[in-house]
């Protein structure tokens, strides 16, 4: 996990070519309140749920903003609706185009069917089947789903080309003011819900992908709760906002880990970047490992019964790693719950590796009777389980290699295990996460 030091809010000197209007906020609380009014008869507020487990773990009063309980299981419906509902009749007749890793697509699909507008939605190849199926359910006959490209950015390029060629309106998932304004209604609800129980927010933890949600939330807070800190939480494998702030401009990441699919964006949006850049003094950016996200997904499911997708668990993961000041009131945005049940084996695997409980070894067994018994009795500890045993090949007459996966009783058992391996005549090589061999074998 990494936390960027709190930066100083910078101002530019006034020159003949620089006006105060150039530095005025792009989005005001009043814009977000207007959006609330627009969507009030379509999108119901989501619950703000007190979390006893996280409150006890942090010493804070922790609330979860349950955007996973939207009709499309994600906050993305807010920006999509606020964007599309303001189109002219001519624009509606021409249809709309969108690109998404899955959640924005579901919001757009829902809006298409609700408003009777045809749309084409481009999603990358790694978008889980569950999300693709839900797009079709929400859009019905009004929506065509087109799968293309290896990541969101490739799908977005295809959508832009479609819009340019057909005259359809491109509905941006995060890089548009109307989308940002719609997402900002999350903050408006949070403050109203806390006020109704006599509370105020000291900090809000927000998942960050393309930047639409955090820029909408910080815009509302800047006007209505300027002392509330905002923590933007990115996956380590796609920390595009952190990179942009370091370079003072949006940059394109050379490589993106697609696992946290709802936040796997290689380049932050220009509009969100401008808003975040103008609010550096109240924003703390941090990034968390994909394995830590998996662990918190499982904790949310086991303890609170919340089915969070990887991006939806980013905020809680960030909260636990940031160690907030005890006694404060904290809100974590659970941004989405579109998770494919088929992914849970991978989620469990990543969590075990992150917690230091799962390890893989290449074990070179002497080709003599009883060597497996030696491995079981003299090397393994009493609480160690073999989860994988695959005999790979015989190197020569004397030895044969097996791939062995071990799950330890506790992470602290590893040094003793490695010491027993070192003392044994059976040669064992530990495979390290992140290496080509580890990725290939697991």
d(CA 381, CA 265): 42
Mean pLDDT of 124-135: 86
Higher pLDDT, 274 or 128: 274
Count of other CB atoms within 10 angstroms of residue 306: 21
d(CA 205, CA 301): 19
Class of domain 27-75+179-349: alpha beta
Question: Across the chain, how many H-helices and E-strands are there?
Answer: 18, 15
- 1-10, 199-208, 395-404: range with highest mean pLDDT: 199-208
Q: What is the pLDDT of residue 153?
A: 82
d(CA 195, CA 115): 33
Count of other CB atoms within 10 angstroms of residue 372: 13
Residue 226 carries which DSSP code? T
CATH number for 77-174: choose from 3.40.50.1370, 3.40.190.10, 3.10.20.30, 3.40.50.1100: 3.40.50.1100
pLDDT tens digits for 313-353?
999 999 999 989 999 999 999 999 998 888 899 999 999 99
Q: What is the pLDDT of residue 25?
A: 72
Q: Is the confidence at residue 122, as pLDDT, over 80?
A: yes
pLDDT tens digits for 354-383?
999 999 999 998 888 889 999 999 999 999
Q: Is the confidence at residue 1, as pLDDT, over 60?
A: no
Known catalytic residues are 76, 335
Pick the range with the lowest mean pLDDT from 136-150, 173-187, 326-340, 427-441: 427-441
Q: CA-based angle 330:182:191, to the nearest 5?
A: 30
CA separation, residue 139 to residues 32, 134, 206, 227 (Å): 26, 8, 28, 40
In contact, 431 and 441? CB cutoff 8 Å: yes
Identify the band that residue 400 occupies on the pLDDT scale cut at 50, 70 and 90. confident
Closest to 31 measured CA to CA, from 162, 179, 140, 181: 181
Q: What is the pLDDT of residue 393?
A: 65
Bin 389: left if φ > 0, else alpha if -120 < ψ < 50, else beta.
beta
Pick the range with the lowest mean pLDDT from 38-52, 77-91, 128-142, 300-314: 128-142
Instruction: Say what percent of the chain tops pLDDT 90.
Output: 80
Domains 27-75+179-349 and 356-441 share a fold: no
Supply the CATH classification number for the domain 356-441. Answer: 3.30.70.260
Name the burial class of residue 129, with classes exposed (0-12), middle (13-18) and buried (19+) by CB atoms within 10 angstroms of its CB. Answer: exposed
In contact, 404 and 386? CB cutoff 8 Å: yes
Give the DSSP H or E segment for 274.
Answer: helix 270-278
Chain-centre distance of CA 236, in angstroms?
10
pLDDT tens digits for 255-306?
999 899 889 999 999 999 999 999 999 999 999 999 999 999 999 999 999 9
CA separation, residue 321 to residues 48, 240, 293, 331 (Å): 22, 20, 11, 15
Contacting residues for 138 by C-beta, under 8 A, at least 6 apart: 71, 72, 106, 109, 110, 113
Q: Is 11 helix (H, G, I), strand (E, B) or coil?
A: coil
Q: Which residues of 165-192 are buried (b: 16+ CB within 10 A; e: fewer)?
A: eeebbbbbbbbbbbbbbbbbbbbbbbbe
Q: Any idea where the domains of the chain sit in the sequence?
A: 27-75+179-349, 77-174, 356-441
pLDDT tens digits for 213-264?
999 999 999 999 999 999 999 999 999 999 999 999 999 999 999 899 889 9
Pick the range with the lowest mean pLDDT from 91-95, 383-387, 438-442: 438-442
Q: Is the confidence at residue 439, as pLDDT, over 90?
A: no
Count of other CB atoms within 10 angstroms of residue 289: 19
Mean pLDDT of 58-72: 97
Q: What is the pLDDT of residue 7?
A: 31
Name the burial class of residue 103, with classes exposed (0-12), middle (13-18) and buried (19+) by CB atoms within 10 angstroms of its CB. Answer: buried
Bin 102: left if φ > 0, else alpha if -120 < ψ < 50, else beta.
left
Mean pLDDT of 53-69: 98
Instruction: Say what percent of the chain tops pLDDT 70.
Output: 93
Q: What is the pLDDT of residue 12?
A: 32
Mean pLDDT of 306-311: 96
Count of other CB atoms within 10 angstroms of residue 79: 30
In contact, 6 and 284? CB cutoff 8 Å: yes
Q: Is the confidence at residue 17, as pLDDT, over 50?
A: no
Q: What is the pLDDT of residue 334?
A: 98
Residue 303 carries which DSSP code? I
Mean pLDDT of 198-206: 98
**Alpha carbons within 13 A on the beta-carbon side of 230:** 28
Q: What is the pLDDT of residue 394?
A: 59
Average pLDDT, the chain: 91
């Amino acid at each position: 996990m990494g936390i960027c030091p709190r930066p100083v809010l910078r101002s530019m000197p006034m020159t003949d070519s620089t006006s105060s209007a150039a530095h005025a906020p792009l989005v005001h609380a009043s814009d977000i309140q207007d959006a609330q009014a627009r969507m009030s008869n379509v999108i119901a507020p989501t619950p703000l749920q007190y979390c006893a487990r996280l409150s006890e773990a942090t010493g804070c009063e922790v609330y979860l903003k349950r955007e996973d309980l939207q009709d499309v299981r994600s906050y993305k419906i807010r920006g999509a609706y606020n964007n599309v509902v303001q189109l002219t009749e001519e624009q509606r007749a021409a249809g709309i185009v969108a690109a998404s890793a899955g959640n924005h697509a579901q919001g757009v699909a829902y809006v298409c069917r609700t408003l009777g507008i045809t749309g084409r939605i481009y999603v990358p190849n790694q978008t889980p089947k569950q999300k693709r199926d839900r797009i079709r359910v929400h859009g019905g006959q009004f929506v065509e789903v087109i799968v293309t490209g290896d990541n969101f950015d490739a799908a977005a390029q295809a959508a832009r080309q479609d819009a340019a060629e057909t005259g359809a309106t491109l509905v941006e998932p995060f890089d548009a003011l109307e989308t940002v304004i719609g997402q900002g209604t999350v903050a408006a609800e949070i403050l109203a819900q806390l006020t109704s129980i006599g509370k105020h927010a000291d900090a809000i933890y927000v998942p960050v992908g393309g930047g639409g949600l955090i820029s909408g939330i910080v815009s509302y807070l800047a006007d209505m709760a300027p002392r509330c800190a905002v923590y933007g939480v990115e996956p380590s494998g796609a920390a595009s906002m952190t990179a942009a702030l370091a370079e003072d401009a949006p940059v394109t990441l050379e490589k993106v880990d697609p696992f946290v699919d709802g936040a796997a964006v290689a380049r932050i949006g220009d509009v969100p970047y401008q808003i975040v850049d103008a609010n550096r003094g109240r924003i703390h950016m941090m990034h968390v490992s994909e394995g830590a996200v998996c662990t918190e997904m499982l904790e949310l499911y086991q303890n609170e019964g919340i089915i969070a997708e990887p991006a939806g668990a980013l905020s809680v993961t960030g909260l636990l790693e940031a160690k907030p000041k005890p006694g404060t009131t904290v809100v974590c945005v659970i941004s989405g719950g579109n998770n494919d049940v088929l992914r849970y084996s991978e989620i469990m695997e990543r969590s075990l590796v992150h917690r230091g409980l799962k390890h893989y070894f290449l074990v070179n067994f002497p080709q003599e009777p009883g060597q497996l018994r030696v491995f079981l009795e003299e090397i393994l500890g009493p609480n160690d389980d073999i989860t994988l045993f695959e005999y790979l090949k015989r190197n020569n007459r004397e030895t044969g290699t097996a791939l062995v996966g071990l799950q330890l009783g506790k992470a602290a058992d590893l040094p003793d295990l490695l010491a027993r391996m070192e003392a044994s005549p059976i040669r064992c090589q530990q495979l390290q996460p992140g290496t080509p061999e580890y990725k290939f074998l697991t």
